[in-house]
Structure 1
């Protein structure tokens, strides 16, 4: 299901990976529902709920990224050539563990079905909101809200910075937007990087057109920024309001800066 909460400010917060729902006709093919949900961007929808009060429109899907990843290139082309990543309909987890029983992985027909059922509606909703807000504002910011475990050896070395800002190497938004967000992180002594391991997924790359007034930026939070991470055997961790509030103390000025940026264009 696609959930859109409309507002009229020049900011869209897109949340493509917080969903946990797995349809009944897909679940039997999976080795484990828990494993299928392990790579979710846990609680990111709760974390960013405050954005509506700032004037932002929020769009999210309740469907698990294991069913279909709405932030991947629908052609199947990898976003990070030469590096491990998961695809449009992932067959393995971020740790490389198989998601499906042997022989039950989605084939081309099933991938096409899932794209029509979940991927296309998400991007239709996103496109509609971009068009609506561009009619109201000379420029808007599309902010892709993500999170990931702080340590995922198959994806990156060591421990991820808290705030990972992605701009597709400066192509998806004006550099001053990324720099203003990085400055807020620095002021609050938060570890951060611009275009490190995560440079932005397909949504950021596809919709970011700064010369046409659409500035797209991705924020990949290390989960320790807003919750207490636990061992895999105890996953998932619980949502912690106090810990989340500490992260929101940085995220709130970041989103406000994005709105101020759009209004000055």
Structure 2
């Protein structure tokens, strides 16, 4: 069993709960995991540094204030290179496996074509992870024992939040490579706010997040080049009072991407994000989130 083999001593993810949930927010850090199972490393042809190229290093720490503010936060300990829960459950690349994919697998998505499926083929700028093809049961085991329970827990937290407050807001927390630039100007954005082009979240909440960060002096982009992945798209259902917002932080603000060590600016950025979150969850009027509830 994949879970017992790869995570015998530590749970692959963790739900950090406040003593009492005081706000209608749920935070999620699906790509900050740094626990690389030995069996996975043996399957890989990459060294211990290169295989980390897809990590959202320390993002859970940057957003740690969410729990102190009264919101639960789900944090992955498994790395994105091992399993990506920001994908459909069966976005799988047939070229990776020694036997046939099940008929229900989505082998033709753009993300699969780019090597970034549910079980990724690549990290970073096109580095192949695996030394040889995997049995398809390897991927199905990770999905069954980690991916599905992870999403069941996340979905349950959102339903619980909506039941308690009337609506729920998911904030999906990520980081992006230093080299990302605004398409028009070529300048580096510090943050990108994604709402699936207005479909996953109330526009008022999106605009409030952008405004708050810009008021703090940060360069902020909206949906370009990251509009939100599967999690934002899947859970963002404003007509059902589920709102989902993706926040991308530029790693250049806080991380040395060569040795994965925190820069001196980490503490200030963490404090700024803490203040941003406090201001966001304290907006004086959330009536724009409390829309008429569509039929389930």
Q: How many residues align?
A: 255
Distance (Å, rounded) in 2 between the aligned partners of 1:259 and 1:107: 49
Distance (Å, rounded) in 2 between the aligned partners of 1:63 and 1:82: 20
Match of 2:48 among 33, 45, 49: 33
SS of residue in 1 equivalent to 2:217: coil
Match of 2:35 among 21, 26, 45: 21
Q: C-alpha displacement at 1:83, in angstroms?
A: 8.7
Match of 2:207 among 167, 174, 179: 179
Moved over 6 A (4+): none
What pairs with 1:51-200 in structure 2 (closer than 5 Å)?
51-76=66-91, 84=114, 86-101=116-131, 103-104=132-133, 106-151=134-179, 160-200=188-228
- Shift in CA distance, 217/109, structure 1 to aligned 2, threshold 3 Å: same
What pairs with 1:204-223 in structure 2 (closer than 5 Å)?
204-223=232-251
- Shift in CA distance, 80/187, structure 1 to aligned 2, threshold 3 Å: farther
Distance (Å, rounded) in 1 between the aligned partners of 2:277 and 2:167: 17
SS of residue in 2 equivalent to 1:33: coil
TM-score (norm: length of structure 2):
0.78
SS of residue in 2 equivalent to 1:205: helix
Match of 2:260 among 218, 236, 249: 236
Distance (Å, rounded) in 2 between the aligned partners of 1:142 and 1:54: 14
- Is 1:10 the equivalent of 2:10? no
- Shift in CA distance, 118/82, structure 1 to aligned 2, threshold 3 Å: closer
Distance (Å, rounded) in 1 between the aligned partners of 2:266 and 2:172: 21
Distance (Å, rounded) in 2 between the aligned partners of 1:26 and 1:262: 47
Distance (Å, rounded) in 2 between the aligned partners of 1:247 and 1:238: 11
Q: CA RMSD in A?
A: 2.5
Distance (Å, rounded) in 1 between the aligned partners of 2:172 and 2:239: 19
* Unpaired segments ≥5 residues, structure 1: none
Encode CA deviations 1:13-60: one digit per residue, 9 max, x unaligned: 100000011222222111123222222000111111111111111101
SS of residue in 1 equivalent to 2:49: helix
Contact 1:18–1:40 (Cα < 8 Å) also in 2: yes
- Shift in CA distance, 262/68, structure 1 to aligned 2, threshold 3 Å: farther
Q: C-alpha displacement at 1:244, in angstroms?
A: 3.1
Structure 2 partner of 1:44: 59
Contact 1:79–1:202 (Cα < 8 Å) also in 2: no
- Shift in CA distance, 160/136, structure 1 to aligned 2, threshold 3 Å: same
Encode CA deviations 1:48-79: one digit per residue, 9 max, x unaligned: 11111111111011001111001112231577
Distance (Å, rounded) in 2 between the aligned partners of 1:256 and 1:140: 17
Q: C-alpha displacement at 1:191, in angstroms?
A: 0.7
Q: C-alpha displacement at 1:256, in angstroms?
A: 3.5
Contact 1:162–1:222 (Cα < 8 Å) also in 2: yes
Higher relative contact order (CA 8 A, sep 6+): 1
